[in-house]
Structure formats: structure tokens, C-alpha cells
């Protein structure tokens, strides 16, 4: 709970949220309070109490999932600034609401912040683009600013590993609490210095190798033409690996839609969905047909799928994305 803070940043704990935060903190307010969590923890604004004259900046979490609390904060006289690229739903018209939302498939939240800041900390936006599985955006930004191939490769590695760190059911599943990771990043205007002067990337690389070695040994539970489904074991390593595994499986079969089901401690599943480019139904639209579902055109998810809903999910997934 953040109470009475002059400025609060609420941000997704993944690479895009962290790098968007990093750019704005470097430019504006390094002493602001932080509210964050694992990648799936997106209803962050319900944890914020603020009043007239305070400012809340929201980064990389769906407005649709936070709209009630946006309205609550605005009615309390809070200035709310919102950067995001997920489905937003209806935006309120309010003089205290400053929205920078673009749901195009080739942007991420950090690229929106990069534009807002006039490219001042573009290197962190490049890291975010690679971490958010937008390599074409990362390459384009990197080329436009004259980065060497070796630097581009290192930024891509950092982005992937920052993103990997955000996957888990709770912060205890992660190698680094995203709030602590944000503080570790803050002194560094250049990601190169962050990689050289901290042990963060080395620790994430070691954990990544161990987790992904186990994940890559798994076999799909179900597969039909055009659609593949994988169910992970109820283990912390599997919860950490789920996002990277989904991305790797999509790269290996780019014409297949993919669903990865990860068991939750209290029952049910977290679901990650990936959909190939060009499919008429996007991952976000499909996932929103289930309660707690959402995301983007190519990458979506369901934060809680009850066990009683699994058969219905599988049937609808294979009907929606299977190819006869």
C-alpha cells in the first residue's frame, strides 16, 4: 500500500514495465514510491491510496483491469498518467487523466515512453522491445541510434532475462523482486553499465539455464493442426519458465497457436496464449472470453482458469485456432 506519496509509479514487473519506469525515473522522479508485482499482477491501482495534488503514473498494465480504481483516484483529485499498449476498454474523459495508450502490435510501453521523452533514454527502450518479444522494433530503434551488433545482442539478452524474471505466481517465485530490481537499475542511464557493474544479469542467466533445461524436456500434452497445448508441473521453476517456453515454442512452430497452462497453488491454472500473425482472432480477444483474460493480439493470457473450465478452454482453443 502506498499512502500519501506525492508521486507513485505503478508498473508491471516485466522487462517492458521496468524499462518504461527506468526511463521516466531517470528523467523525472527517482524518489517516487513504487507499486509492482509479478507479471500477472496487473490490478495494481487497487493498492494505491492517494489524494488531491498527488500523481500516479501507470506503466504497462491494462486500463480495462484498473478502470474502477482510475476513476476512484481521479475523483479524489489525483493526477493519473497512463502509458500502455494492452486493450484499454473505455477511457474516461477527465482533466486529470493523461493517457498515452497505443494497442498497435508493433509498439510496447517503453517505446511509448521513449517517444514521450524524445528518445532521451532510448537504450532502455531497446532492451524492453527485445524483452517484450518485439525484435523488429528493437532492431529498428537500435539501428536508428547507431548501436553496434554486439551491443544490440547484449541488450536483447538483458531484455529476455528481465522478462523471464517476472514470471511466477508470487514474488517469492522470482529471482529478484521487481521493486528491488528497479532500484538496482536506477543508477544506470546506460544498460551497458548496468550489465557490467551489477551481478543481476549473471544471476538471471544461471537461473534461466537451469529452468529452461527442465522446461525444454517437456512434451506437448495435446496438439492438432494449427494449435498446441502444454501443461506444466506445479513447480516454481515451471512458473518462472512459462513465458520463455511459450515464446520458444512459438518460434519453433510459428504457424501454430499455443496455450501453456501452469497450475496455481490454490487450484486452477494461469494460461499463456500465443497466436500467429495473420490469424483473424487475436490472443487478446480470445482470452477476454474468459474471466480474468486479456493481453495483446499475438500474446494474451488468463490469470485464473478454474479446473472446472479447463475442458471448455481446450475445446474452444482448438476450435478457434485448429486448422481442419
Domain-wise residue ranges, the chain: 2-206, 222-321
Cell numbers describing residue 128: 524492453
Residue-level pLDDT, tens digit, the chain, 324 residues? 455 458 999 999 999 999 999 999 999 977 899 999 999 899 999 999 999 999 999 999 999 999 999 999 999 999 999 999 998 999 988 999 999 999 998 999 999 999 999 999 999 999 999 999 999 999 999 999 999 999 999 999 999 999 999 999 999 999 999 999 999 999 999 999 999 999 999 999 999 999 999 999 887 777 677 899 999 999 999 999 988 888 888 888 888 899 999 999 899 999 999 999 888 999 999 999 999 998 888 889 999 999 999 999 999 999 999 865
| Grid coordinates belonging to 76 | 479524489
Q: What is the pLDDT of residue 5?
A: 56
- What is the fold, at CATH topology level, of the domain defined by 2-206? inorganic pyrophosphatase (n-terminal core) (3.90.1640)
Q: How far is CA 12 from CA 66, 95, 177, 179, 237, in A?
A: 13, 25, 12, 10, 20
| CB neighbour list of residue 215: distance below 8 Å, 6 or more residues apart | 232, 237, 238, 241, 244, 245
Distance CA 245, CA 212 (A): 7
Say which residues have a Cβ less than 8 Å from residue 280's Cβ, sequence separation at least 6.
none
For residues 278, 284, 285, 286, the Cα torsion angle rounded to the nearest 10 degrees is 90
Task: Determine the Cα–Cα distance for residues 79 and 56; give it in Å rounded to an integer.
Answer: 6
Q: What is the pTM of this model?
A: 0.85
205 CB burial (10 A radius; 0-12, 13-18, 19+) = middle
Say which CATH topology domain 222-321 has: Diaminopimelate Epimerase; Chain A, domain 1 (3.10.310)
Question: Residue 1's pLDDT is what?
Answer: 46
Residue 13 has φ and ψ, to the nearest 5°, of -80, 10
CB atoms within 10 A of CB 276: 16
Task: Give rounded-to-5 percent helix, strand, coil for the chain.
Answer: 45, 20, 35
**Cα(84)–Cα(95) distance, rounded to whole angstroms?**
19
Does 2-206 match 222-321 in CATH topology?
no
Angle at 159 between CA 158 and CA 165, to 5 degrees: 90
Amino acid at each position: 500500500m502506498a499512502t500519501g506519496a506525492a508521486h507513485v509509479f505503478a508498473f508491471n514487473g516485466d522487462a517492458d514495465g521496468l524499462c518504461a519506469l527506468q526511463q521516466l525515473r531517470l528523467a523525472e522522479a527517482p524518489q517516487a514510491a513504487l507499486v509492482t508485482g509479478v507479471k500477472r499482477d496487473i490490478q495494481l491501482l487497487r493498492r494505491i491510496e492517494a489524494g488531491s495534488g498527488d500523481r500516479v503514473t501507470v506503466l504497462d498494465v491494462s486500463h480495462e483491469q484498473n478502470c474502477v480504481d482510475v476513476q476512484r483516484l481521479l475523483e479524489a483529485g489525483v493526477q493519473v498518467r497512463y502509458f500502455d499498449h494492452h486493450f484499454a476498454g473505455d477511457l474516461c474523459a477527465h482533466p486529470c487523466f493523461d493517457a498515452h495508450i497505443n494497442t498497435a502490435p508493433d509498439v510496447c510501453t517503453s517505446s511509448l515512453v521513449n517517444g514521450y521523452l524524445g528518445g532521451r533514454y532510448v537504450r532502455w527502450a531497446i532492451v524492453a522491445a527485445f524483452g517484450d518479444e518485439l525484435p523488429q522494433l528493437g532492431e529498428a530503434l537500435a539501428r536508428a541510434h547507431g548501436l553496434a551488433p554486439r551491443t544490440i545482442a547484449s541488450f536483447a539478452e538483458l531484455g529476455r532475462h528481465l522478462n523471464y524474471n517476472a514470471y511466477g505466481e508470487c514474488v517469492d517465485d522470482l529471482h529478484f523482486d521487481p521493486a528491488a530490481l528497479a532500484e538496482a537499475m536506477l543508477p544506470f542511464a546506460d544498460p551497458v553499465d548496468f550489465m557490467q557493474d551489477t551481478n543481476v544479469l549473471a544471476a538471471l542467466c544461471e537461473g534461466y539455464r537451469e529452468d529452461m533445461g527442465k522446461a525444454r524436456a517437456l512434451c506437448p500434452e495435446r496438439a492438432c493442426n494449427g494449435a498446441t497445448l502444454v501443461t506444466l508441473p506445479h513447480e516454481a521453476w515451471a512458473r518462472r519458465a512459462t513465458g520463455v517456453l511459450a515464446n520458444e515454442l512459438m518460434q519453433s512452430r510459428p504457424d501454430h497457436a499455443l496455450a501453456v497452462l501452469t497450475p496455481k497453488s490454490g487450484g486452477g491454472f494461469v494460461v499463456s496464449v500465443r497466436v500467429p500473425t495473420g490469424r483473424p482472432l487475436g490472443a487478446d480477444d480470445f482470452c477476454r472470453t474468459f474471466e480474468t483474460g486479456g493481453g495483446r493480439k499475438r500474446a494474451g493470457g488468463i490469470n485464473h482458469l478454474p479446473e472446472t473450465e479447463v475442458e471448455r478452454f481446450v475445446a474452444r482453443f482448438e476450435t478457434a485456432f485448429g486448422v481442419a
